[in-house]
Every structure is written in C-alpha cells, then in structure tokens.
Structure 1
Amino acid sequence: MTQVENFGVEPGDIAKYHIGSVISSANGAPVDNTINGWYNMVKGFQDEALGTRLAIPIIYGIDAIHGHGQLLGATIFPHNIGLGAANDADLVQKIGRATALETMATGIQWNFSPVVAVVHDIRWGRTYESFGEDTDLVQKLGEAAVRGLSSVNNLERIADHHQIFLLSTAKHFIGDGATSWGSSEQNIKCTMANGNKVDKVYMLDQGDSQLDVNTLRQRLLPPYSAAIRAGAMSVMASFSSWNGQRMHAHKELLTDELKDRMGFEGLVISDWDGIEELRKTPKGQERDRTAYYHSCVDAINAGVDMAMLAKDWLLHIDVMKEAVQKGDIPMERVDDAVRRILRVKIMAGLFERPMPDASLRQHVRSPAHVQLAREAVGKSLVLLQNDRSALPIAATARIVLAGRGADNIGMQCGGWFIRWQGMLGKVTPAVRMPHNKWGNAGRPTGGTSILDAFRKHMKSDVDYVVGLPDNSKRWEVAVVVIGEEPYAEGMGDEPNPTLTEGDVAALAAMRPRADKVVAVILSGRPLIIANHLHLADAWVAAWLPGTEGEGVTDVLLGTHPFQGRTSVTWPQSADQLPLNKHNTWQGQALFPFGHGLSL
C-alpha cells in the first residue's frame, strides 16, 4: 500500500520494508538518462522485491502524459489539448500504444495518464493535460487513450489473466478541472523552465469544485466510466475538493460512487503526498505525526488503496501499522486494498514477467512513432484566422522565421518534458540529481524545431531573426512563433493568459518588413489576442505539439489540410473568464468551441 520515490530509498529498503511500488517523480530521471540507464534502475528495485520471501513484484510508475517525457530521445507527442483539437480517437489510441511501448522499454509498467478532466476555466495551469471542455469529447478520447495504453492482444498475452499491457490511470478523481478561482490553498516554490525560482500561490489547481451533485455526475463522471470500461485499473484521487471536502478523504465519492456504484475493481492511488495535504504541515516545520496519523486514517478509510509518497515513507508505514493495530483502519479495509493491488499486478502479468521484454527498446523514437507524432501535430493545428490568403505558404517564397518559439523544442513540448516544469531550447540544462550529482547537461533533446522543419522543406533560403529585423531586408512571408514558456500544474495558474510584451514586439517588428505575417501560437490554452489580431494576417493555434516540428510545416505549406477545431472556448478578454460552452453564449467568444477554418 506504499509507493516510494526512486531517489528516496537506499539499497535494501525495498526488501526490508516490503515496498510494493516505486515512482519516478517529474524530476526522477536517473543520472544515466538512457534506455539502459532507466531499465537497469527499475530492474534493481525489482530484483530486490523478487528476493523477498513472497517474491511479490513491485510495479514502477511514472507520468508519461505526452510520451515518455523524462527519457532523453523519446518521441514526444502533442499534449492532450492539441489531441482534443484533432478529435481523432483512432489517432489517440495509437499514441497511447506508442507511449506504452516507449515507457515499457525503460522497464516501467504503470503510467499516471490520461487526465480525463473536463476543463471549465482556461486559467488553470493543467488545461493542456485535458482534451477539452466538452464531456463527450473528453469521454471519447480518454477511452481511446486507455485502450491504447492498456489493451492486450492475443500475441502479447503471456497468461490467461494477462489483461493489462501498461497500467493506465484515469485522473484526477474528481473535479480537478472545475475548481473556482481563488479557492486553492497551495503554495509551491520551484525552478521554472527559464531558470527563475518562483514562489507561486496557486489559484485554481488543487482548489474547490463548487458544483451540485447532478452537474458532477452528468459533466465530470462520464469520462471516468468510459475509461474504466476501456480497461483503466488505476484511478488517482485529486488534490482538489468538492464543495469544501478534500477528495483524498471523500468516502462518498471514492468508495460509494467509484468503487460501489460504478463497479471499479482496480486500485485508487493518492496524488503526490496527497494524504499529507489533508492536514498540511506548515513549510519549514517537521511533519506533525498526530496530524498525519488522522490524515492517513481518513484517506485509507475513504478508499485510497496506495499512498504515493514524496518523503517520510517510513513514518507512513509506522502510522499505518499503528492505525491497524488500534482498529482505526479496519483490517477488512487493508485486505480490500491489498486485494486490489495484487489484482492489478496479476492482470499486468508481473508475476510471470516482472520486467518488460528488453527488445521493446527498438520502439523508442522509431520511424513509425516519429511519423505518428508528426501526423498528430498536423491534425491538431487550428487555423483561427487567414486574412489575405496568407496561408498556405508557397515552398518557393522568400520567408523569415522569428519569435521565441521558432527554434525551441522546449517551448514546443511544454511542461512535463525532461523536468516537471519543462525546459527551453534544444539542449538539456544541468539537472541536480541526488547526492549532489549533476546529470544530463548539454545533451540534445531530439526532435525537429519549427525553424529546422522550414529549412528542410522550403525550396528557398529561410532567414531566421533573433531580436529586431534588418531594416534593409524584406520578405514575402514572416512566420512568427510566439506563446507560453513551459509550466506545469498550478505553476501555470494565470489570471490573464496572454502574449508577452516580447511576443507583441516580435509581431510588430515584422509587420512592416513582410508582405504577409503568420503568427503561430505555442501554448497550453487559448491566449488573449483580440487586441493584437491586426499584427498578423493568419493566426494558427499549434498548442504544444511536441518534438515533431515538421507536422507544423506539413500544414502551413499546404501539404496537408487544416483539420483541427478548438476543444476549448477562446475568449475575447480575461474579464470573461471562466468562459466555456456551459456558461455563455458562443457569440461572446473570440473563437467559439469547435472553431477552425479550412483552406
């Protein structure tokens, strides 16, 4: 019932304390960030578990939410917000399977994905992890993602009970995308993609969903029902609350609704130190044992089967033993949780094959996966505006690329890429590892930037401008790639998601220097652009497309058509937020849900 962080245990701990699961957190890559490095790390933990008396294998988990984002050289697909715009269930299922193959190639058999939240407010920093604001859309694509990640075909089945390929996780149960602005109590300090250290007060993430039960059941529950039908055997509890009650202690929803009424037979896992959040220890203070004891009792009795622990996992084990001995956690509840965990491990075939086949490494960034990612990028692009027929661009045109995102794999990938908060550029930054080691600095990320893609496919020279353009030069087309720097979770809660001053300046500088200007937005949500539309002829929402920039040029050069449609409402101004299809007339939006032009 305990999941520990890979860097939080010492050799021998897995066997000594009978640990059942290990996680690589969002900054949990091994010093040797290669396929071999990952596989050997996981195998070390697994070998310890198999050496115990009962030889019960661990199950190793990770957040591979748009591909195996922490593995250098993996195929990184568009974040879910882009896949929602593509609205292609078959494509999402194929991406799920590709993600499963690349993740299992590193020894990992549990993915904390997909997010099946229905987004109510684009100010939420996790908007891009969702497929959109429409329940039916999220339900359809979430189900497809689970089938891709978890389904087992006859050739893959190693035993009659082997029903899980890679364990998928529907999350975050429930209401994480429907919280009210200002309702969060979280405060996090971390280093952002640009290297700045930020002390952030969350506003939406981990906040309170203030909805009636009918709205919750009609709007938020269907994607979970679909995911469970598709084979999801893991559900993650949400940090958030529902009408003031924390989900990690919500027996009515975790047990009565999810397990009993919906018939979920898998396991419920906490979020990252989610149990502690029930009675949070103030920063800088040691964890209050009595407070944690009561939090643990509340969470386990509410229906949490496994605790994901960032720290103090020994305290958790000690508290669990005491609570069971005192009868505060009934033995029947422990038996139920263990039964669920073992059921999942059996269905995943872990007892027959504790480690995935090492031959799966051939799939990591295979030509087929790169092509699949490129296809996904092309299908996800949304043409918001195309004045003066600025698109498509002729391959012979004299063009210039400009903007922060033009040659920036990190901006293309967004959060959950290499590190929790992502990175910038095309070369990895130094990452502090345990024991004061530094790893993975100066290594290429893999992939193709939008600039590199244009230079590969244009029949004329492609200029690239950093800063102000040369006033002596003029181009037929300027492609300006702008948008958001990477962020993850509540670090991206933003009251006014809009263009930076630098983005606006880049557009304005190109306006008099090019016959036509095309603005390409890299972002995890709609940005406020109404006052800047005049600075470009064409506006394209590229979302967070991942490593394959050629998918962008495929569409901008007219090789493939624009197919994407907005899966969230695009507001005119921040004053309208929260704005979605459930709370406004679509005529008030700059671009309504489902908007997208064709050529």
Structure 2
Amino acid sequence: MEPGMAENWIYKNPNEPVEARTKDLLSRMTVKEKIGQMTQIDRIVATPTAVCDHFIGSILSGGGSIPLEKVLSSEWADMVDGYQKAALETRLGIPMIYGIDAVHGNNNVYGATIFPHNIGLGATRDADLAHRIGVATALEVRASGIPYDFAPCVAVAGDPRWGRTYESYSEDVEIVRNMTSIVSGLQGHPPQGHPNGYPFVAGRTKVVACAKHFVGDGGTDKGINEGNTIMPYEDLKKIHMAPYLDCISRGVCTVMASYSSWNGDKMHSHRFLQTEVLKEKLGFKGFVISDWEALERLSDPYGSNYRASISSAVNAGIDMIMVPFKYEAFIADLTSLVESGEVPMARVDDAVERILRVKFVAGLFEYPMADRSLLETVGCKLHRELAREAVRKSLVLLKNAKDPKKPFLPLDRNAKKILVAGTHADDLGYQCGGWTISWVGSSGRTTIGTTILDAIKEAVGDETEVVFEQNPSPDTFTGQDFSYAIVAVGEPPYVESGGDDPNLIISFNGSEIISSVADRVPTLAILISGRPLVIEPSLLEKVDALVAAWLPGSEGGGITDVIFGDHEFHGRLPITWFRSVDQLPMRYGENSYDPLFPLGFGLTSKNVKLSN
C-alpha cells in the first residue's frame, strides 16, 4: 500500500454519503473483522488486548457493571476512551460503540440526575416532557463518553404482576406511542424528508437509542417475565408492535429483541418477526441487538447447545449479540457456522452493514472520544429541576378527603407539629427503584438526591416541628399533638424476574404502618411503587388522602411541591388499579372491568376528577 492510500478510502471521508462509506468499509473487512463487529462484550472482560485482537464491535456495562463505587462521569469517560483507543488501533480503525442501560437518566453513574421510571412518566401523559428528559439523559450519558443507550422500553404492560411493569409507560398502547417522543430527545429530530426506517443521530450531544423489547414483552401470560405472549398476530401488531412504528419513524437506531416468546416461539429465534416484519415490512435499517445472554436461553438445558442457538438467532435476524462474557466461544462458534454455510455470508454482511451504518450515522468515525465539555451537565441544576417537574406531573391523587366537600390537601406547611413515617420516607434508594447505581438498586443514600423527608423539612415553615419515625409505636403519639402525618411506604427495588409478584402487597408491613398512624392522626399516605398494589377497603377508608408517587427518582422535592399546594395535581393512572389480584389481568373496556380506580383516574386537590 502506498503512503496516504488509506486516507483516500471512501469510508474515511466524512463528506461521502453514509451508504457509500458503509459499503466501502464492508468490502475491505475480513470474516474475522466482521464477526468481531457483531460481538458485544461486558466491560468486566473487555481488555484493550481483547478489543484489539478480536476486533470487538461493542462493549457494554450490564446492570451495575461499574468500574468502582461512586465513580464520576469523568472517570467513566476515561475508561471508555481507553477501550476506544484500542479499537482505533486495529487495521481498519473501526470505532467500538459503548452501550449502557440509562433507563431513567444515566442511572449507573453516581451524581447523575435520576428521573422517574417510565410508569411515572406515563402518568404525566406529557410527550414534550418525555422529549426533554431524553435530551437531558443524552447529555449526561455522552458526558460519560458513552454514545449508546439501551432505552426506551416501549412495552405495553398488560399485567402488574410483571416485574418490569415500571419500565412500561402504560397498559394503553396510545399512551406508550405518545411517549416515544423520548426517542427524538435522545437522538434528535430527523430532518424533513428523512427516509422512514433509516437511523438518525443529530450530533455529539445525542445518543444511539434502542427500542425494546421486541415484541410482546409486556403481554406475557400471568405477567411472567420472559414468559409467553399468547395472542393472534393482529392483536400483537395492534397492541405490542404499534409503538415500534413510532420509534422507527423517529429514526431509532437499534431494536433489542425480547427474552419472551410469542405463542410458544422464542423471539430471539423468530425470523418472521425479526426479519420479515421488522426489517422488511416495517423497513427498519438499523441493527437488532440481543438481550443479555439471551442466546443461552434458546437451548434447554440452559446454554447446552450454544452453537445451535447462535445459528438460530443470527439467521432469525439478530445483528449484534450481547454475549457478554464468553466471547471467545461465541466468535469460534459463529466462525465455524459461517465456514460451514449454516450461517450464510450474506446474513453476516447484512448484520455488519447495519452496525456500521449506525456507527457512521452516530458520528463515531469522526468523533470517537468523549467530549469533556459535557461533564458540567451531569446532575446539573437544570436537569434536576426537569426531574422535579416530572415528579410533580407524575403524582396521581387517588383520594383527598373522608368528606368529599372538605379536601385534605394541600397540607398546611405552617402546622405546629407533623409526623413523617414509613419505610420510604427517608430512603433515596427506595425512591429511585431498580436500575439505579446497581442493577437491582438498593436502599440508602445510593446517589445524590433529595428524599421525601428532606423535601418536607425544606418545604415547611421555620416554626413547624417535623418528627420522623420509620415505624411509629403507640408511644410515639403519647403526649404529642400532631396536626397530621405523612406516611410513605411501598416496594423495595427490584428488576426483571426478581420483580415478578403474584401477590402485590405493600412491602415491609406498609399497610399496617399506614393503618396504625391513621388510627391516631389525620394521614396522607404516599405509595412509592412501580405498579398498583393491593389496597384493602378498610385502609382506603382510614386515610384522609392517598397519592401514587410511583418511583420518582432523585428529586423528592417534586412531591412536596404538590402536597403543600405550590402546584396542582396533574397525573392520571397509566394503568388500572385493581381491587384484588384475583381480577388480573384486567382489560379496560371489558364488561367484567371493575377496578378500584380505572385507567386514567386522577383527582385535583379540589377533588375534581381530571379528564381522561
């Protein structure tokens, strides 16, 4: 090769069209380099040598896969840049793409803004708010040197027993479709005339988004995670596939396959849905990525025939495989499958073409390294104010008086003495839920933020005494004259199958805590949860007011903004609140529909029902 020849290659010229650059680069790649591009590995096993030797196309942080505790965005950027330097030293200098689950803000990073989980955003019905959250999340993710976000989840949750219900915006497909505006926030708005289905990223302040989990993950029988969605194709298309049309029209770059099955057939090996429908009929031109270790789930016993699983998944239409650890075995098996013809070379070329297209569209060839100028956006005042707005708008007032003519809220911030109680009143980790710093999430001051108790102390007058007891005993009330009590209870953090729950009772004896306090003091109960929970009629009768606050994230001040009357309630139920788990699944509009509170229910502080 003559000196300077490589610089004249089409794929290195940013002024050339993306398709020309993609085809030029693809034509220069060996089989080994192509298979490397299809391989995504976790940072735990990603060494610069592994990246370089195997031409690894992508690295991810699985849930909680963080370099060290309380690592800041700048340190994340240093780590990602280190991997990128190794990728750029390969023969063709193809940048790797680093991905992360930033599903309610850049939730893996200490100090980042944590927004409400999707179920809370669905309660707002505010597409513009979702878009602005996408913009803010993209900035905080890019500040960490990461250009790829495994979000949004556009599942339509059909049964609250499902452990991922809080990752869904609603049981109503139209609400979910409306909230796909977050894709445009994450990636930017495609210009007029942009080809439908073609990926789009607006620049260095935006990220590659990922619509997930294709398709039907929210409709599984009995809400079992990774279970079986049983329905005709027309219903699958009308309910669960519909949000993907909106994501595709917004230029979404990637789609993640679901662990679940449709009528008994696993989605990861479903060629009809992955290729014939998503790629051919819907015209999706980005890449399809597998979920974490999903290929192992295709064989029973688990992972027993990995080679066959790779063949079925890749031939079905999976382009990038989230290995995430056994990448050497994956590469060896896929190489063997290509050599034997069991996986056609044309299928590999299609997969790699799609991956390269997204990398070119995302600007990674021109700007592969982190932009340190974005670090000031992480957890900034503007983003925290946005998160606080989202909390305010997500709150659903379910009850506001024992006597409808005498609203209990807003609370008097100048009361002499108030009691704050409950397991969730002063626990930031519980407030944020799963996918926060660690995969499952945890209790305590896991990141920077404001608990409900913090916010109450900030909101009340100087003359108001705030007494906090997590689980008050009868002695708590002896000789005390509380004006009212605020009790916050709910669920502990959970993720995925660990959140599947056939009972849906309030955790940590939450109902008993509310009942004990409400027997003695006028009480506002606040539920911190990722879904509706069982509320016994006697408990509902006892409390003076009840607020569903979902999983609000790091900005507890959004709750006090509303309960003390600075802002009005706007939230409406994004999901039916059942009376008993025996009723599940409930279908809005069916003759048997008899909820405690229907889809769309919500009150103002004046006890006026919000319009659905």
Query: What is the identity, as a one-letter code, of the residue corresponding to 2:267?
Result: M
Of residues 446, 450, 453, the one that matches 1:451 is: 453
Task: Tell me if the contact between 1:568 and 1:580 (Cα under 8 Å) persists in the aligned partners.
Answer: no
Root mean square deviation, CA, Å: 1.5
Q: What's the counterpart of residue 425 of structure 2? A: 406
Q: Distance in 2 between matches of 1:329 and 1:485?
A: 44
- Equivalence map 1:329-478=2 (5 Å): 329-388=343-402, 389-397=407-415, 398-426=417-445, 428=446, 445-459=447-461, 460-467=464-471, 468=473, 469-478=476-485
- Provide, for residues 453-493 of structure 1, a one-character-per-residue CA deviation record: whole Å limited to 9, x for no partner: 00001011211113222422131110000000110111000
Q: Does residue 15 of structure 1 match 2:35?
A: no
Report the more deviating stretch, 531-540 or 334-343: 531-540
Task: Tell me if the contact between 1:162 and 1:346 (Cα under 8 Å) persists in the aligned partners.
Answer: no
Q: Does residue 137 of structure 1 match 2:169?
A: no
Q: What's the counterpart of residue 62 of structure 2? A: 25
- Provide, for residues 266-317 of structure 1, a one-character-per-residue CA deviation record: whole Å limited to 9, x for no partner: 00000001111100444xxxx54xx111110000000000000132111000
Query: What is the identity, as a one-letter code, of the residue corresponding to 1:325?
Result: E
Q: Distance in 2 between matches of 1:454 and 1:580?
A: 38
Q: What's the counterpart of residue 52 of structure 1? A: 90
Q: What's the counterpart of residue 208 of structure 1? A: 228
Shift of 1:233: 1.1
Aligned residue pairs total 547
- Provide, for residues 564-592 of structure 1, a one-character-per-residue CA deviation record: whole Å limited to 9, x for no partner: 00000000011101113265554x00000
Query: What is the identity, as a one-letter code, of the residue corresponding to 1:251?
Result: R
Query: What is the identity, as a one-letter code, of the residue corresponding to 1:304?
Result: I
Task: Tell me if the contact between 1:240 and 1:247 (Cα under 8 Å) persists in the aligned partners.
Answer: yes
Q: Distance in 1 between matches of 2:591 and 2:298?
A: 35
- Provide, for residues 11-49 of structure 1, a one-character-per-residue CA deviation record: whole Å limited to 9, x for no partner: 311000100000001021111611122111111110000
Of residues 298, 323, 329, the one that matches 2:312 is: 298
Of residues 568, 592, 608, the one that matches 1:561 is: 568
Shift of 1:152: 6.0
Q: Does residue 34 of structure 1 match 2:40?
A: no
Residue aligned with 2:44, SS? helix
Residue aligned with 2:509, SS? helix
- Moved segments of 4+, more than 3 Å: 160-164, 582-586
Do the aligned partners of residues 162 and 67 (structure 1) sit closer, same or farther apart at CA in structure 2, a change above 3 Å counting?
A: closer
- Provide, for residues 243-278 of structure 1, a one-character-per-residue CA deviation record: whole Å limited to 9, x for no partner: 000000000000000000000000000000111110
Query: What is the identity, as a one-letter code, of the residue corresponding to 2:441?
Result: G
Q: What's the counterpart of residue 592 of structure 1? A: 598
Q: Distance in 2 between matches of 1:139 and 1:98?
A: 20
Q: What's the counterpart of residue 2 of structure 1? A: 39
Of residues 322, 332, 341, the one that matches 1:327 is: 341
Shift of 1:93: 0.3
Q: What's the counterpart of residue 525 of structure 2? A: 519
Of residues 219, 227, 243, the one that matches 1:178 is: 219
Report the more deviating stretch, 164-173 or 563-572: 164-173
- Provide, for residues 469-526 of structure 1, a one-character-per-residue CA deviation record: whole Å limited to 9, x for no partner: 2422131110000000110111000001122362122112212432x10000000000
Identity rate, percent: 45
Q: What's the counterpart of residue 287 of structure 2? A: 267
Structure 2 residues without counterparts, runs of 5 or longer: 1-37, 192-198, 606-612
Query: What is the identity, as a one-letter code, of the residue corresponding to 1:242?
Result: W
Q: Normalising by the residue count of structure 2, what TM-score does the alignment of the two structures yield?
A: 0.87
Residue aligned with 1:454, SS? helix
Query: What is the identity, as a one-letter code, of the residue corresponding to 1:447?
Result: G
Q: What's the counterpart of residue 157 of structure 1? A: none
Task: Tell me if the contact between 2:46 and 2:59 (Cα under 8 Å) persists in the aligned partners.
Answer: no
Of residues 168, 192, 195, the one that matches 2:209 is: 168
- Provide, for residues 52-86 of structure 1, a one-character-per-residue CA deviation record: whole Å limited to 9, x for no partner: 11000000000000011110111000000000000
Q: Distance in 2 between matches of 1:16 and 1:513?
A: 69
Residue aligned with 1:473, SS? coil
Task: Tell me if the contact between 1:121 and 1:579 (Cα under 8 Å) persists in the aligned partners.
Answer: yes
Q: Distance in 1 between matches of 2:300 and 2:313?
A: 14
From the CA coordinates, give the structure whose radius of gyration is larger: 2
- Provide, for residues 400-420 of structure 1, a one-character-per-residue CA deviation record: whole Å limited to 9, x for no partner: 110000001011100001111
Q: Distance in 2 between matches of 1:175 and 1:24?
A: 25
Shift of 1:163: 4.0
- Provide, for residues 186-215 of structure 1, a one-character-per-residue CA deviation record: whole Å limited to 9, x for no partner: xxxxxxxxxxxxxxxxx7000000010110
Q: Distance in 2 between matches of 1:114 and 1:501?
A: 31
Of residues 500, 516, 528, the one that matches 2:534 is: 528
Task: Tell me if the contact between 2:63 and 2:101 (Cα under 8 Å) persists in the aligned partners.
Answer: yes
Query: What is the identity, as a one-letter code, of the residue corresponding to 2:409?
Result: L
Residue aligned with 1:558, SS? coil
Q: What's the counterpart of residue 240 of structure 2? A: 220
Q: Distance in 2 between matches of 1:141 and 1:20?
A: 31
Report the more deviating stretch, 83-92 or 304-313: 304-313
Task: Tell me if the contact between 2:187 and 2:200 (Cα under 8 Å) persists in the aligned partners.
Answer: no
Task: Tell me if the contact between 1:475 and 1:513 (Cα under 8 Å) persists in the aligned partners.
Answer: no
Task: Tell me if the contact between 1:386 and 1:539 (Cα under 8 Å) persists in the aligned partners.
Answer: yes
Query: What is the identity, as a one-letter code, of the residue corresponding to 1:567?
Result: P
Query: What is the identity, as a one-letter code, of the residue corresponding to 1:268?
Result: V
Q: Distance in 2 between matches of 1:354 and 1:35?
A: 17
Q: Distance in 2 between matches of 1:161 and 1:505?
A: 51
- Equivalence map 1:50-129=2 (5 Å): 50-129=88-167
Query: What is the identity, as a one-letter code, of the residue corresponding to 2:604?
Result: S
Do the aligned partners of residues 492 and 161 (structure 1) sit closer, same or farther apart at CA in structure 2, a change above 3 Å counting?
A: closer
Residue aligned with 1:598, SS? coil
